[in-house]
Structure 1
């Protein structure tokens, strides 16, 4: 008789893998509260929901920027923060907040947004938390002005700190945010490529459990291509690594009506099921207006879980067809980047400097800023300008992106889904806040 293998108590990737083996997609809210009692209540509600779910602790914006003095000033005068102040919080308080919640089928991830994550990693591991997310490119270019070279070094150190906690009871986990890199107007091949490259960076610095992100965009068919490409490339470039894919419900301007938001969220859940995503980051029907309550988050998780389960039998996720342009472009970007250096971090840095990785409409000083995107006549997000990116396909004759066209593109999904819900006569299910 074969002896059963022990399961690490802290193993975010393992939890997702076990759900996948049962044919379920893990759903996860974007949740963060400043006060430990409120944060615990949100985590407890998520853990108690009758769906396969992961918990989230989202940090406040001052902590993300390393401005701990501002955190103390705000909390000292009784002011409000927009997330949990992990670094300045007593580790014993955080540990007590989460200790009895973590189990084999419920894990907690710390979400932040920092290009310098070492303090966050130290604080979370002191409190008994071992899953987080980010990346040297994806948490640097869109969010601040820190030089990319510094972010790469900070993330190298952060990975090594986190990996150092691996043990019989702990398998540290890192999710790359690369697939959400200003994703609402970034053609998907670049998102897929950065997601894979950042996951390789994590692996090179000791992380053995990773997840690769992708943000829902404007074309369902194109998103299926992208998630297919993400899986193919992860298999190619991450041998020996425990990995899974995570889909984000649309990251851009959200519909202003509850019905439109519900319709968009429904399509995200169906996309996750059809394209074989393993985890889904869920949004609520009030995203365009305010921070959702715990009850609204739980309701959104239930709706998402119901939709993914209802469409889970839609057949085997599509394989890599020869005509998958997203896969072809992402392969070209990854290959060109890896040719620049044996070290993935140095390769990423050189790729950005040469404009191989060039994020449309990103104003970071290290970003070349020579690329642009457009929505073509079929509704796909395509390159309007490719700059120095090593892509075989050339952009079409698209018009320059004026401020008016940019604003229109940013609101494309919100307007489309608000109008779609109205034309289909869809009524949103009342939220807990509406019923109160």
Structure 2
């Protein structure tokens, strides 16, 4: 078990939720200060080193130029900094796990840089870091991720449960998270975490996280795994109070549904890159919220597990190699991400938020999902889509009467 996974396991044994920021600074001194502040927060934490946008898309020449010219970057350019510099950032933080977050469809340089710096934990996936963020062909992303994962002995977190940030029905998020974890396992990775992003309904989210845990237990029984929840990734509340409540609700959701780790968001999320202090405040607030609830094994069954199971089984039946299976599944439309414009996505699936706040299918294309799951009366106009996109922010920014 990696140091990162061991820290999460220790916290779980103590009944504590691990909380984590999405923080990255270009300056090694600032990055080090941020990691120290997160380590010293009044919460059980792990650290994050989030890379900049140039590094994410593989434009390392531009990242180097920005460092040379003193231009402001929105993250830590781990490939451009010498490994010795990054080791200096981590010096004295012994025993404090740090994850590298990047967003790249071609992670090979990032994997090389983090390994050279003595780090062993990162995240992403061949689908989740290609379809929403890149125009690269999916086959290239699968090949690059295969090469990066082969021989990697650290911890890998899927990003599949966060596809598009919002308006992706939970069953598809669960299935993609499991499928990317199966891809990692096929390439020899023995320690994984499976992501799920908070959506529009707490009850539906709890059902989805329990479905994710059930499928992980079935398909990943021979590797170490845990579930990580992401605080809502769509249009975020603009008020400080609304943002804080949404973040705290994500912490409560994680505990009730049996997740072990939470990626937080801050009160500044809708406006700018948050400060170190704002990140620490979000961590501490989420930790307090998590301590106010306990695990609840009971959930309503509205079919999320059945849908996710059908998707996973249909894909894995296509090939013994999950990468090959994923490519075939997207080619045939067996996986189809709503509102995703990537050329390798079929683009026939659609979703909406119903009157109860639950994400529903309005069209499933060729995916193996029962017709009874499709709401044929869903609104199909742009006004309905905009309302759905802004629903969570509006509810949290509107004072209760």
RMSD, aligned α-carbons: 1.3
Q: Tell me the distance in 1 between the aligned counterparts of 2:37 and 2:298.
A: 35
Matches of 2:137 and 2:91, distance apart in 1: 37
Which of the numbers 327, 345, 362 marks the counterpart of 1:349? 327
Instruction: Give the counterpart of 1:228 among 210, 225, 248.
Output: 210
| 2:298 corresponding residue in structure 1 | 318
Deviation at 1:403, TM superposition (A): 2.6
Aligned partners of 1:96 and 1:317: how far apart in 2? 44
Shift of 1:269: 1.2
The yes-or-no answer on 1:294 pairing with 2:271 is no
Q: Distance in 2 between matches of 1:259 and 1:398?
A: 35
Q: Secondary structure of the residue that 2:192 maps to in structure 1?
A: strand
Offset at 1:324? 4.1
Query: Does the 8 Å contact 1:216/1:250 carry over to 2?
Result: yes
Match of 1:179 among 161, 182, 186: 161
Tell me the distance in 1 between the aligned counterparts of 2:19 and 2:297: 18
Q: Does 1:143 align with 2:122?
A: no
Q: Which residue of 2 aligns with 1:273?
A: 255
Question: How far 1:316 sits from its partner (Å)?
Answer: 4.0
Whether the 8 Å CA contact 2:98–2:121 is kept in 1: the answer is yes
Q: CA deviation at 1:317?
A: 2.9
Counterpart position of 1:3: none
How far apart in 2 are the matches of 1:77 and 1:339? 52
* Shift in Å, 1:175: 0.0
Match of 1:13 in 2: 5
TM-score after normalising by structure 2: 0.97
CA contact (8 A) 1:99 1:128 kept: no
CA contact (8 A) 1:121 1:161 kept: no
1:133 aligned counterpart, secondary structure: strand
Contact 1:213–1:247 (8 Å) recurs in 2:
yes
Q: Are the equivalent residues in 1 in contact too, given 2:151–2:188 (CA < 8 A)?
A: no
C-alpha distance in 2, partners of 1:100/1:399?
A: 55
Is there any run of 5+ residues in structure 2 with no aligned partner, and where? none
Unaligned runs of at least 5 residues, structure 1:
1-7, 164-171, 425-436
CA contact (8 A) 1:133 1:175 kept: yes
Q: Are residue 28 (structure 1) and residue 12 (structure 2) matched?
A: no
* Shift in Å, 1:399: 4.0
Structure 2 residue 340 is matched with structure 1 residue 362: yes
Checking the alignment, whether the CA contact within 8 Å between 1:227 and 1:276 is kept in structure 2 is: yes
Residue 400 (structure 1) shift: 5.0
Deviation at 1:193, TM superposition (A): 0.2
Q: 1:256 aligns with which of 238, 251, 263?
A: 238
Greater Cα offset, 404-413 or 192-201:
404-413
TM-score (norm 1): 0.90
2:66 matches 1:84: no
Q: Give the CA deviation at 1:374.
A: 1.0
Give the alignment partner of residue 94 of structure 1, picking from 76, 81, 86: 86
Find the counterpart in structure 1 of residue 227 from structure 2: 245
Q: Which residue of 297, 305, 316 corresponds with 1:338?
A: 316
Asked whether the equivalents of residues 169 and 351 of structure 2 are also in contact (C-alpha less than 8 Å), the reply is yes
Distance 1:102 1:317 in 2: 36
Deviations 1:163-222 (A, max 9, x none): 3xxxxxxxx100000000014100000000000010011011011000000000000110
- Contact preservation (8 Å) 2:251, 2:289: yes
1:328 maps to which residue?
306
TM superposition shift of 1:393? 3.4
Say which SS state the counterpart of residue 237 (structure 2) adopts.
coil
Q: Distance in 1 between matches of 2:330 and 2:196?
A: 20
